[in-house]
């Protein structure tokens, strides 16, 4: 974690199992440097028993930032907990539909006609992402939506093994800004995930003023769903009704997210938690920020400053 000016703090978030040799070596280096650790639930059900290695993360991490309705089911019993996800740090000033529109007008960010859609679902090709995004349920629900509504439906980063669905366009991964432009042009984002602990795309959709239709059983991101932002669905039997209700309008997702989340608000909550454990944190700090570990060996690994 860092201060707003980028100065590193003596705390690192562990957000996934530490499994590679490079990650183990980096962890040892951080321990020798006197770093203190907190956990963040970002990878599937980590640190629940099914989603961790043999390490005792209750001993390593002094506190937990989590996404769970029932944290006792997943988290170690000791240490303070805070209902805050990495996706809470999504910045509405950066993920802004007006900025995207301006970029489009300047040439280069216009959404291609083939990517225009009423309903967008963002899946994943890697096996763990396919599991996290719940492709089996997504496919059944999208088939039903296409058959019963005639809506334009787009799946981004469709699994490699995905069978074609009549009335649904499947495309590969998109660059981040183009993905945002596609979502911004949609009427809702469809999120059938269960094992998704920090669905950044859900927070990004809200920042883009796009309502969401979310699986009621999702591990993380459930706290974003309310009458201002969208609705829950329970399965393929009620997905059509739920999508139609959300498309009826009346939500204000961007205003709601901006009022409750974003880097300053989320960072202030995390700082208050850390101050209960570390009285050496500078008084001049009002919030903290998250940034990737700067070690080149683990730039994409489980640690976040």
Domains and CATH numbers, the chain: 11-88+261-304 (no CATH), 92-257 (3.40.50.2000)
DSSP single-letter state for residue 239: H
Taking the C-alpha atoms of residue 288 and residue 23, their distance in angstroms, rounded to an integer, is: 24
The pLDDT of residue 110: 58
pLDDT of residue 130: 86
Say if residue 47 is preceded by a cis peptide, omega within 30 of 0: yes
DSSP annotation of 171: -
- Sheet architecture: strand order including 81-83: 81-83, 64-66, 36-40, 11-14, 303-304
pLDDT of residue 108: 47
Cβ-Cβ contacts under 8 Å for 5 (sequence gap 6 or more)? none
The pLDDT score that the predictor gives to residue 6 is 85
Helix or strand holding residue 12 (H, E) = strand 11-14
Q: Whole-angstrom Cα distance, residue 89 to residue 197? A: 14
Mean pLDDT by 10 residues, the chain (305 residues): 90 93 93 95 91 91 96 93 96 92 56 83 88 93 96 94 93 94 96 91 97 97 97 97 95 97 97 96 93 65 53
CB contact set of 286 (below 8 Å; sequence gap of 6+)? 4, 264, 268, 271
DSSP SS3 for 86: helix
Helical (H) or strand (E) element with 122: strand 119-122
Look up residue 248 and give its two tokens.
Answer: 């009826």
Long-range contacts of 288-294 (CB under 8 A, 24+ apart): 288/1, 288/2, 288/3, 288/9, 288/11, 289/1, 289/2, 289/3, 289/4, 289/89, 289/263, 290/1, 290/2, 290/13, 290/86, 290/89, 291/1, 291/2, 291/6, 293/12, 293/26
Q: Which residues contact residue 170 at a Cβ distance below 8 angstroms, ignoring those fewer than 6 apart? A: 155, 158, 162, 164
Q: Let me know how long the chain is.
A: 305
């Amino acid at each position: 974690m860092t201060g707003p000016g980028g100065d590193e703090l003596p705390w690192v978030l562990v957000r996934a199992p530490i499994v590679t040799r490079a990650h183990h070596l980096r962890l040892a280096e951080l321990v020798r440097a006197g770093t203190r650790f907190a956990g963040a639930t970002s990878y599937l059900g980590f640190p629940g028993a099914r989603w961790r290695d043999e390490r005792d993360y209750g001993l390593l991490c002094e506190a937990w930032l989590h996404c769970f309705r029932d944290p006792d089911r997943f988290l170690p019993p000791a240490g303070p907990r805070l209902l805050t996800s990495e996706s809470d740090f999504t910045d509405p000033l950066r993920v802004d539909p007006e900025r995207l529109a301006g970029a489009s007008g300047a040439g280069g960010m216009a959404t291609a006609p083939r990517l225009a859609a009423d309903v967008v679902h963002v899946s994943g090709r890697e096996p763990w992402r396919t599991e996290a995004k719940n492709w089996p349920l997504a496919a059944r629900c999208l088939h039903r939506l296409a058959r019963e509504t005639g809506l334009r439906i787009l799946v981004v980063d469709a699994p490699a093994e995905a069978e074609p669905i009549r009335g649904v366009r499947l495309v590969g991964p998109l660059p981040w800004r183009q993905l945002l432009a596609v979502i911004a042009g949609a009427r809702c984002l469809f999120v059938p995930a269960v094992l998704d602990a920090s669905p950044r795309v859900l927070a990004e959709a809200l920042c883009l003023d796009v309502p969401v239709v979310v699986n009621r059983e999702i591990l993380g991101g459930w706290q974003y769903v309310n009458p201002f932002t969208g609705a829950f669905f329970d399965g393929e039997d009620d997905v059509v009704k739920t999508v139609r209700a959300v498309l009826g309008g009346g939500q204000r997702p961007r205003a709601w997210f901006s009022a409750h989340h974003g880097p300053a608000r989320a960072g202030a909550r995390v700082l208050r938690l850390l101050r209960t454990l570390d009285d050496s944190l500078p008084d001049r700090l009002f919030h903290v920020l998250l940034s990737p570990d700067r070690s080149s060996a683990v730039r994409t690994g489980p640690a976040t400053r």
